[in-house]
Structure 1
Amino acid sequence: MSIDNNITSSIEEKIKEAKESDQISKILIKWLDEIDDGKKDIDTEKVIQELIDKIK
């Protein structure tokens, strides 16, 4: 299953409004896709650290 286009568009829009890197939205969308696909072994701490590093 894939995440609704409205959700991904909203994420991308909000990241642009915040004047942050588009890499942030890519990381978030990939993470949400993995959750949506039912992956159990997602390294959430790694994803959060990637996001923090991109925001800094």
Structure 2
Amino acid sequence: MTESEPELSFDELLAESRELIEDFDSVPWPQMTAMFYQHAYEELRLHLGMILDALESDRPAS
């Protein structure tokens, strides 16, 4: 997601993350190269960061 893209709702973020995982799961094993794993890691890291940010913003200040 870039600055110009609208912010996703939490449900949309979860749905997009699940779709990303399904996309990775559908890749045939011969195509799972080092580049595939590097790209998958970065995508998952970005999505997890967005999920954690969304969860943190919903918590009351301590």
TM-score, structure 1 length as denominator?
0.47
Looking at both structures, which has the greater relative contact order when contacts are Cα pairs under 8 Å and sequence separation is at least 6? 2
| Structure ID, larger Rg | 2
TM-score, structure 2 length as denominator?
0.44
